[in-house]
Amino acid sequence: MRGPISRAGLSAATGLNRSTVSSIVNTLLEKNLVREIGLQSPARTGRPGMLLELNPDGGCAVGVEIGVDFVSAVLTDFVARILWRKRVPSDPQETQDVILGRTEDIVQEALTIGREHGLPPLGIGLGVPGLVDIQQGTLVFAPNLRWYDVPLRKMWVQRFGLPVFVENEANAAALGEYYFGNARGVQHLIYLSAGFGLGGGITIKGKLFRGSNGYAGEVGHMTVDPDGELCGCGKRGCWETLVGPRAIVRRVKVALESGRQSLIPSLIENELSRINVEVVVQAASAGDLVARAALEEVGIYLGIGISNLVNAFNPEMVVLGGALSLASPFLLPVIEETVQKHTLPQPRRALTITTSAHGMDACMMGAVALVLDEILREPMFPIL
Model pLDDT for residues 226-252, shown as the tens digit of each residue: 999 998 888 999 999 999 888 999 999
The predicted model gives 72-80 an average pLDDT of 96
Residue 384 has pLDDT above 90, yes or no: no
**CB 7, CB 18: distance < 8 Å:** yes
Model pLDDT for residues 86-134, shown as the tens digit of each residue: 999 999 899 999 999 999 999 999 999 999 999 999 999 999 999 999 9
φ/ψ of residue 226, rounded to 5:
-60, -25
The residue among 322, 363, 359, 374 whose CA lies nearest residue 63 is: 363
pLDDT score at 92: 86
CA dist 212 and 187 (Å) reads 20
Model pLDDT for residues 187-206, shown as the tens digit of each residue: 999 999 887 788 899 999 98
CA dist 371 and 125 (Å) reads 6
Residue 382 has pLDDT above 80, yes or no: no
pLDDT score at 380: 44
CA dist 125 and 163 (Å) reads 8
pTM above 0.95, yes or no: no
Q: What domains can you pick out in the chain, each with its CATH number?
A: 5-54 (1.10.10), 59-177+362-377 (3.30.420.40), 183-356 (3.30.420.40)
The residue among 185, 99, 182, 175 whose CA lies nearest residue 144 is: 99
Model pLDDT for residues 152-184, shown as the tens digit of each residue: 999 999 999 999 999 999 999 999 999 899 999
Long-range contacts of 17-24 (CB under 8 A, 24+ apart): 24/379, 24/381
Model pLDDT for residues 268-315, shown as the tens digit of each residue: 998 888 999 999 999 999 999 999 999 999 999 999 999 999 999 999
Angle, alpha carbons 297-201-220 (nearest 5°): 40
Confidence of residue 42 (pLDDT cuts 50, 70, 90): low
The predicted model gives 48-72 an average pLDDT of 91
pLDDT score at 46: 59
pLDDT score at 188: 96
pLDDT score at 306: 96
Confidence of residue 2 (pLDDT cuts 50, 70, 90): low
Residue 208 has pLDDT above 60, yes or no: yes
Helix/strand/coil (H/E/C) assignment for every residue in the chain = CCCCEEHHHHHHHHCCCHHHHHHHHHHHHHCCCEEEEEECCCCCCCCCCEEEEECHHHCEEEEEEECCCEEEEEEECCCCCEEEEEEEECCCCCCHHHHHHHHHHHHHHHHHHHHHCCCCEEEEEEEECCEEECCCCEEEEECCCCEEEECHHHHHHHHHCCCEEEEEHHHHHHHHHHHHCCCCCCCCEEEEEECCCEEEEEEECCEECCCCCCCCCCHHHCECCCCCCECCCCCECECHHHHCHHHHHHHHHHHHHCCCCCCHHHHCCCCHHHCCHHHHHHHHHCCCHHHHHHHHHHHHHHHHHHHHHHHHHCCCEEEEEEHHHHHHHHHHHHHHHHHHHHCCHHHHCCCEEEECCCHHHHHHHHHHHHHHHHHHHCCCCCCC
Residue 379 has pLDDT above 80, yes or no: no
Mean of per-residue pLDDT scores for the chain: 90
pLDDT score at 4: 85
Residue 45 has pLDDT above 70, yes or no: no
CA atoms within 13 A on the CB side of 293: 13
CA dist 243 and 299 (Å) reads 7
pLDDT score at 197: 81
pLDDT score at 109: 98
The predicted model gives 350-354 an average pLDDT of 94
Left if phi > 0, otherwise alpha if psi is -120 to 50, otherwise beta: which for 71? Answer: beta
Between 48 and 35, residue with greater pLDDT? 35
pLDDT score at 383: 45
